Structure 1
Amino acid sequence: MNYSYTFRSALSEALCVKESSPVVQELVSRFNTPFDLMDATEHELKSIRGIGPMRAKQIQSAMKLARLLNMPKETPKFIRSPRDVFDIFRHTIGILNVEEFHIIMLSTKNGIIGTEMISRGTLNSSLVHPRETFIPAIKRSASSIIAIHNHPSGDCTPSPEDVQLTQRLSQASEIIGIPCLDHVIVSKDSFVSLKERDLM
């Protein structure tokens, strides 16, 4: 799909500059699609001539809004299956080109209390600490959590690192007293539940 025209136009309007401006041209050249721009760090944006801290934050805010608008209008209020998790996250982290690790915090009846991003970048068990994972759940008085992360490749097959992380989270959940009900890997078009595969 060719995003070039609409992408350039959207950037022009968001930044209040002409489509032919060097800033827009460089953004389109460096980040081929809006999905690529969603992954851009503030440092990467500021490396472009004409983009300072304020404009970089402006672009990142616009990308966050775009990600929210890409979510389905109706999202589940309760988690009844891994499919519900997939339906929530396929349009947010499922479309990203970088891995993100999130949790869903649940009530006693599996109602969604909230979600929290725990880490961003290459996922391994040394970067995702159980303590950091459960702190938001403790603060929100969650009864349980579900772990979620994306595979940018589109292949949701659990890696050895995914399995190791899941086991560490399960062990920590028993100590803390907040069960980790599942670990779901998502992409834009598919998902895998580690619980359904008996990997936790």
Structure 2
Amino acid sequence: MLTATENTATTELAKPQIRELTLANGMSFPSDEELLMLILGKGTRNCPVEKLSAKVLQVINASNEDSLLQNLIEITGIGISRALTIAAVVEFGKRRFRHLKNVITRSSDLIQYLQHYTLDPVEHFITVTLNGSREILSIRTVSTGTVNKTIVHSREVFAQAVAEHASAIICCHNHPGGTCRPSKADFQSTQVLQEAALVLGIKFLDHIIISREGYFSFLENDLLEEGTKLEKLTDC
């Protein structure tokens, strides 16, 4: 049987190991329990972090949305603060990835998944990849710039689309300044990206600019080359 001192040592040793392995191998490396170990940080005197993480995972898997927080609070060693942290992480994950496999039929369908970028003080260039069934494969930030500019290269924009064997792509960036009207640089970058998409055989469906005042769609304003209409996505 472990003494209290040995038990605490076991608890404290676990986290650095997981940290080091995750840093070396990336966030996809840890198991679900190990991810929870990173969130919890440490266990208690009577329950090392490995066992506490296993208990938390069981509760998450067995709880519905309405009961999760209360069920977490009832775990010995969790408490209100940790329970709120875990529940917040679960909810955050749902919100960030609720777009996966959702069908896009028009540009405005995407705004709900991009709206949070309008609160950011710097520009972000985002790509949305889709398959031939109009389902979202991923939403990815390609680059982050300054308060009024972000630099993107075609190879970076299309890298994920090529890796995912995407049929189509929609690009988006935010204007922190307020107006969503396109600049001269926005027109130029859109033209370059359309040409790159043509070479790669990936449909360039739209370039959307978002701000706190609304959004601007190159497609909806008939500013894209013929043949890139979103309505033709079924032909991908």
What band does the TM-score fall into relative to the shorter chain? 0.5 to 0.7
* Alignment check: 8 A CA contact 2:170 2:207 kept: yes
Distance 2:204 2:153 in 1: 14
Match of 1:186, SS? strand
Judging by fraction of residues, say which structure has more helix: 2
Distance 1:111 1:73 in 2: 13
Partner of 1:103: 127
* Alignment check: 8 A CA contact 1:173 1:179 kept: yes
Distance 1:117 1:106 in 2: 15
Partner of 2:173: 149
In structure 2, give the amino acid aligned to 1:158. Answer: P
TM-score computed with the length of structure 1 as normaliser:
0.60
Q: Does 1:135 align with 2:194?
A: no
Residue 199 of structure 1: CA displacement? 2.2
* Alignment check: 8 A CA contact 2:126 2:140 kept: yes
* Alignment check: 8 A CA contact 1:105 1:112 kept: yes
- Percent of aligned positions that are identical: 35
Q: Which has the larger radius of gyration?
A: 2
Distance 1:89 1:181 in 2: 16
**After superposition, where does 1:150-189 map in structure 2 within 5 Å?**
150-189=174-213
Hey, which bits of structure 1, 4+ residues long, moved more than 6 A? none
RMSD value, Cα: 2.8
In structure 2, give the amino acid aligned to 1:80. Answer: T
By relative contact order (CA 8 Å, sep 6+), the higher-ranking structure is 1
Residue 188 of structure 1: CA displacement? 3.4
Partner of 1:84: 109
Residue 74 of structure 1: CA displacement? 6.1
Distance 2:126 2:162 in 1: 15
Q: When the two structures are aligned, how many residues end up with a matched partner?
A: 135
* Alignment check: 8 A CA contact 1:94 1:188 kept: yes
Unaligned regions of 5+ residues in structure 2, if any?
1-88, 225-236
Unaligned regions of 5+ residues in structure 1, if any?
1-64
Residue 86 of structure 1: CA displacement? 1.1
Q: Does 1:120 align with 2:131?
A: no
Distance 2:212 2:198 in 1: 31
In structure 1, give the amino acid aligned to 2:130. Answer: L
Match of 2:180, SS? coil
* Alignment check: 8 A CA contact 2:180 2:211 kept: yes
Partner of 2:233: none
